[in-house]
Amino acid sequence: VVADERKFASCLLFPNMEVLARLKAQKKANDLSDDIFLQSPFIQEEIGKLIEETNQHLNHWEQLHAYRFITDPLTIQGGELTPSMKMRREMIANKYHQLINAMYDPQPS
């Protein structure tokens, strides 16, 4: 979750690639890349429901208003995980700063 010194809370989502492969098979979408499948109406609707359900239990200022998928796995070698498999938030934020900032850029009119 990204929120510090931001207008609203957003998040980066790291899908379980095994589950994603099963969903693609169920939806007969194996010919689609993971990135394209994650943009599909089915996934967008499912994530929208999950975020809506999550937001019901949060104060307005805590609610998630934007998200982006990251299909690259978090790794110890890449610096995103500690040896005990904890996320290094600062490293992740630095690595994906452009993607994070894009969620806060004003939309073109």
pLDDT band at 75 (very low <50, low <70, confident <90, very high): very high
Interval 5-53: pLDDT, tens: 899 999 999 999 999 999 999 999 999 999 999 999 999 999 999 999 9
pLDDT for 105: 85
Query: pTM value?
Result: 0.87
Q: Is 37 exposed, middle or buried (0-12, 13-18, 19+ CB in 10 A)?
A: buried
Q: Is the pLDDT of residue 108 over 60?
A: no
pLDDT for 86: 96
Spatial distance between the Cα atoms of 72 and 24, rounded to a whole number of angstroms: 17
